[in-house]
């Protein structure tokens, strides 16, 4: 059993919930491949792999995965939620290609330092931040 499963099981058990095949399938699928994904995308992707779970269960399980800290919700200027892994994933920022949707991650400690300065100046207590650059990835820029 990997680390993700362990975290999920612990959460499941602490809440008196059940570790069902559906939850297991979703958990595995989410951590097998995806960088960023949407609920609908996950559903379709699972179907392609003959893992048929209902939309309701997808949504219910994603909520659990967020609650137990394995996933994080991100919104990329679109109006629906995207998810990304938390575990084994240090904080990072995003480059979002506005043509093909590709997402490149990057991180740099300067951002954190900068955030602290800004917050001091504005008497603001930061909880989190998002730095996102929209533009064209190498491939789309060529075209």
Residues that bind its own copies (CB under 8 A): 75, 77-80, 93, 95, 97-98, 104, 106, 108, 110-111, 114-115, 118-119, 121-138, 141
Q: What residue 38 binds from DNA, its own copies, none (CB within 5 to 8 A, per partner kind)?
A: DNA
Q: Whose Cβ is closer to its own copies: residue 63's or residue 134's?
A: 134
For residue 54, state whether it binds DNA (rule: CB under 7 A). yes
DSSP string, 67-115: HTTSEEEE--SSSS-EEEE-TT----EEEEETTT--EEEE--HHHHHHH
Which of residues 63 and 126 has its CB atom nearest to DNA in the complex? Answer: 63
Candidates 101, 104, 83, 102; CA nearest to 93 is 104
Q: Which residue, 32 or 138, has its beta carbon nearer to its own copies?
A: 138
Beta carbon nearer to DNA, 39 or 111: 39
> 77 touches which of its own copies, DNA, none (CB within 5 to 8 A by kind)?
its own copies
Which residues in 28-58 are b (16+ Cβ under 10 Å) and which e? ebbbeebebbbbeebbebbeeeebebeeeeb
Rounded Cα gap, residues 50 and 101, in angstroms: 26
The count of C-alpha atoms lying within 13 angstroms of the C-alpha of 76, restricted to the half-sphere facing its C-beta, is: 21
Q: Which of 39, 86, 137, 140 binds DNA (CB under 7 A)?
A: 39
Q: Does 115 bind DNA (CB under 7 A)?
A: no
Site of interaction with DNA (CB under 7 A): 16-23, 38-40, 52-57, 59-61, 63, 79-81
């Amino acid at each position: 059993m990997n680390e993700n499963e362990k975290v999920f099981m612990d959460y499941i058990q602490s809440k008196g919930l059940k570790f069902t095949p559906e939850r297991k399938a979703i958990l595995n699928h989410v951590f097998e491949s995806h960088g960023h994904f949407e609920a609908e995308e996950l559903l379709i992707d699972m179907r392609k792999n003959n893992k048929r779970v209902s939309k309701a269960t997808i949504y219910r399980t994603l909520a659990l995965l967020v609650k137990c800290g394995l996933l994080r919700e991100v919104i990329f200027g679109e109006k629906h939620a995207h998810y990304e892994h938390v575990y084994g994933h240090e904080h990072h920022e995003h480059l979002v290609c506005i043509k093909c949707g590709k997402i490149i991650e990057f991180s740099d400690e300067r951002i954190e330092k900068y955030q602290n300065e800004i917050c001091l100046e504005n008497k603001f207590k930061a909880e989190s931040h998002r730095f996102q650059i929209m533009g064209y990835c190498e491939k789309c820029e060529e075209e």
